Structure 1
Amino acid sequence: MVLALAITASPAAEPRKVLVLGRISDDPTAHYEQLRPLLDYVVSRMGDVGITEGRVLMARDVQQMQSYLRRGRVDWVTETASGAMRLEARAGARALLLTERHGVSRYHTVYFARRESGIGALEDLRGRSIGFQNRQSTSAYFVPAAELLAQGLPLEILLSPRDAPEPGSVGYLFGRSEFNIASWVHKGLVDAGAMSNLDWDSPRQVPPAFKRDFVIFHESAPFPRALEMVRGDLEPRVAERLREVLIEARDDPAAADALRQFFRTTAFLPIDADTRAGLDGLRDGVARVVADVE
């Protein structure tokens, strides 16, 4: 099967005529179906720079993707902002474009607690607990963890909701879903929760019956929804042509279905100076979380 061959291919570098799109995935078959249509669309428009074939290569985790990038096994990766910054810092990947999904290119983290909790600022979390989603989440783990560390609040993983953090630190648990985080806060199992503003605004993730008992006590600065990355030593003319094709795709009817399947992407946008500055800050924050918490 083509997908299996792509995953287990020899470690030798791919020929220059092949463009390899990578993805960190715990469900390779499903993600292959989402990636392939856009890759085919892109390859069909890159013959002028020698690209005649496209392949998908899945990685099981960020460490494996870092290895693929350093060894020239992957040319282009689509990633969350935190994942992208880890690839930039550890594998020399380069941010090519900002990815807009469902019409949204940036979002931010919302911190919330029960109204009667007495929590009105990040500092009030000292000696208390917070619910995150999982170790891969930008909005519900890396960003809030980095902000708490920047405030001088050490983080301590808890064994269960019944476990209590040390008085000077913030205890955290992974809820695995935004709905679970909201439920834990509502039931008093944790003192606060963190999630993206998009999930906060979703009645499915935060039911109105819960939300009326909550208060938002802090919001982060906005950060990119997702990024398209390329390996640092990708041939400049190939990288630039890939950038052009992706930017132009939003206005090409022939790309509409491929974009929809590509995680509901609505546009690829240039990275301006403000976005780059924000990414630099996010990269430093992610590095601190990896070093101090994991």
Structure 2
Amino acid sequence: MALTCLVAFAAATGAQARELVLGRVSDDPRQHYEQLRPLLDYVVPRMRDVGITGGRILMARDAAQMASYLRRGRVDWFTETAASAMLLERKAGARPLLLTERNGVSRYHTVFFARTDSGVSGLDDLRGRSIALQSRASTSAYFVPVMELLERGLPMEMLPTPTEDGTPDSVGFVLARSESNIAIWVHKGLVDAGAMSSLDWERPTTMSPSFRPDLRIIHETGEYPRALEMVRGDLEPAVAARLREVLLQAADDPAAREALAHFFGTTRFIALDPRNEAGLDYLRRAVARVVEEVE
């Protein structure tokens, strides 16, 4: 009876009764489901006035599958790190909705580092040498460092292993899969340099304090957004506007506190301003250039 009344109300107000679908690119769907569900359960009841009658989570195995979901209208809203979000904007027309602050941090930057005895003191010294990055999905440890090197006229060449030699004119990069591996490979001298986020550089579980005396920072980038809430490009304006409103208000609502904590340690959602838009423009350029010149 309640659902019938809700459908009738939605029809009367011009809204189409339906589910809100929250998506996620995931290599661990079970864990991510537990992180996503509480916030979806918080949001859905607050969107009944725009015809939302329920919520569902849809996992994608990779960015290509998520792009397909977005183009076909199967996902309405998703959360992503900034460069991956810009990649899906490029591939599927997704739109930024809000900045996501996680554990009190909404912006960060990339740190390049090398051993103090490596002879590497700046990015130009990396020509003919090697650098460890994380994975193709990483903003701070892939898209941004590759963009910084390309902008200095340094061609990038992917190496299959840390011990493989690249060409003398390029920078060989190897994907270490984790930030802790990047730190270890640089410290052991398997690669000449590494790049990671400023947060990981300061995190003892990633960068062992015992490594620090042997390492030095050789370059730091400007700041850029850490993560974003995105919606598909053709999401109904009323639904997108109400979702934005609900998320913006969540940090001030005690009822949302636990759901936000589960949602990847989110502390609040922030409206995009000119400073953050400039950061996204930089990441758009980075994604476009890396895709065209490296991948």
Please tell me the TM-score bracket, short chain as reference.
over 0.9
Q: 2: distance between equivalents of 1:85 and 1:92? A: 9
Q: 1: distance between equivalents of 2:103 and 2:245? A: 21
Q: 2: distance between equivalents of 1:137 and 1:37? A: 26
Aligned positions of 1:179-218 closer than 5 A: 179-218=180-219
Q: 2: distance between equivalents of 1:16 and 1:200? A: 47
TM-score by length of 2: 0.93
Q: 1: distance between equivalents of 2:62 and 2:151? A: 26
Please identify, of 158-167 and 67-76, the stretch whose mean Cα deviation from structure 2 is larger: 158-167
What is the CA-CA distance between 1:48 and the residue it aligns to?
1.1
Q: 1: distance between equivalents of 2:69 and 2:211? A: 44
Letter of the 1:148 partner, please give it.
L
What is the CA-CA distance between 1:261 and the residue it aligns to?
0.5
Aligned positions of 1:13-28 closer than 5 A: 16-28=17-29
Q: 2: distance between equivalents of 1:100 and 1:153? A: 33
Q: Quote the RMSD (CA, aligned, Å).
A: 1.0
Q: 2: distance between equivalents of 1:240 and 1:161? A: 48
Partner of 1:34, secondary structure, is helix
Partner of 1:79, secondary structure, is strand
- 1:133 aligns to 2:120 (yes or no): no
What is the CA-CA distance between 1:16 and the residue it aligns to?
4.9
Partner of 2:234, secondary structure, is coil
Partner of 1:282: 283
Q: 1: distance between equivalents of 2:224 and 2:177? A: 21
What is the CA-CA distance between 1:44 and the residue it aligns to?
1.0
Partner of 2:144: 143
Number of corresponding residues: 280
- Give CA-to-partner distance per residue, 1:168-195, whole Å, 9 cap, x none: 1000111111111111111110000000
Aligned positions of 1:88-127 closer than 5 A: 88-127=89-128
Aligned positions of 1:6-85 closer than 5 A: 16-85=17-86
Partner of 2:10: none
Letter of the 1:29 partner, please give it.
R
TM-score by length of 1: 0.93
What is the CA-CA distance between 1:101 and the residue it aligns to?
0.4
Percent identity of the aligned residues?
67
What is the CA-CA distance between 1:118 and the residue it aligns to?
2.1
- 1:176 aligns to 2:177 (yes or no): yes
Partner of 2:52, secondary structure, is coil
- Give CA-to-partner distance per residue, 1:81-110, whole Å, 9 cap, x none: 011001111111100000000000011110
2:17–2:53 CA contact under 8 A, matched in 1:
no
Partner of 1:162: 163
Identify unmatched segments of 5+ residues in structure 2.
1-15
Letter of the 2:111 partner, please give it.
V
Q: 1: distance between equivalents of 2:101 and 2:142? A: 21
Q: 1: distance between equivalents of 2:162 and 2:232? A: 41
Letter of the 1:68 partner, please give it.
Y
